[in-house]
Amino acid sequence: MLKKIIAGKVFVLGNDIDTDQIIPAAHLVYKLDDPEEKKNYGRYALSGVPIEASGLPAGNIPFINEGKWQSEYKIIIGGKNFGCGSSREHAPVALNIAGIEAVVAESYARIFYRNAIDGGFVAPFETAQHLYKEIKTGDTLELDTAKGILKNVTRQITYQLKPLGDVENILRAGGIFAYARASGMLPTA
């Protein structure tokens, strides 16, 4: 479920981060219904991002620290075409398991965007600015999800994001099925 305020450290990436970089195919063997195996989706999230990738944090800062399955980061900043590549439903799931609550990018691959919203996994905010060039990995951000205001607490700079529009209610409900039940489109379980 989408929180009103998402606050925490940011991990910054560049353009064209694809689903195989988000969760490599070699790590799609784990069961999501097994609590211990499910942690591996978090453990290997963003493990496919090559060192030479555009926007990779200076000093090759790891997204997940050794021996952990959740990241210290809560928000990802990306460039254009975030989540491109295959229609891997596990990509937004892996980010969610790793602890990511929102991604802010210039644009998204349609399938990633839809999968993120359908399951209520991460809030996909859009920006008209090249934030991945302005914000640095490790900065502390505060995102007011209702107003679409992103504040870089570290640098004291505020940005206006594009509104979520109709998908906001789906994210606040916790995904498309939760929304459909809450709005009476589906019978309650």
Residue 62 confidence (pLDDT): 87
Using the predicted structure, report yes or no on whether residue 53 has a pLDDT greater than 80: no
Does residue 120 fall inside a structural domain? yes
Domain that includes residue 151, residue range: 5-182
- Averaged pLDDT, 93-121: 97
- Averaged pLDDT, 97-122: 97
- Averaged pLDDT, 103-112: 97
Does residue 123 fall inside a structural domain? yes
Using the predicted structure, report yes or no on whether residue 55 has a pLDDT greater than 60: no
Using the predicted structure, report yes or no on whether residue 166 has a pLDDT greater than 80: yes
- Averaged pLDDT, 94-111: 97
Using the predicted structure, report yes or no on whether residue 95 has a pLDDT greater than 60: yes
Using the predicted structure, report yes or no on whether residue 119 has a pLDDT greater than 70: yes
Does residue 189 fall inside a structural domain? no
Residue 57 confidence (pLDDT): 59
Does residue 104 fall inside a structural domain? yes
Q: How many domains does the chain have?
A: 1
Chain-centroid distance, C-alpha 82: 10
Using the predicted structure, report yes or no on whether residue 86 has a pLDDT greater than 90: no
Between CA 41 and CA 30 the distance in angstroms is 8
Does residue 187 fall inside a structural domain? no
Q: Are strands 102-105 and 123-126 parallel, antiparallel or unpaired?
A: parallel
124: left (phi over 0), alpha (psi -120 to 50) or beta: beta
pLDDT tier, 54 (very low <50, low <70, confident <90, very high otherwise): very low
Tell me which DSSP letter residue 139 carries: -
CB 90 within 8 Å of CB 97: no
Between CA 81 and CA 171 the distance in angstroms is 21
- Averaged pLDDT, 56-84: 89
CATH assignment of the domain containing 95 = 3.20.19.10
Angle, helices 90-97 vs 110-118, to 10°: value is 50
Does residue 63 fall inside a structural domain? yes
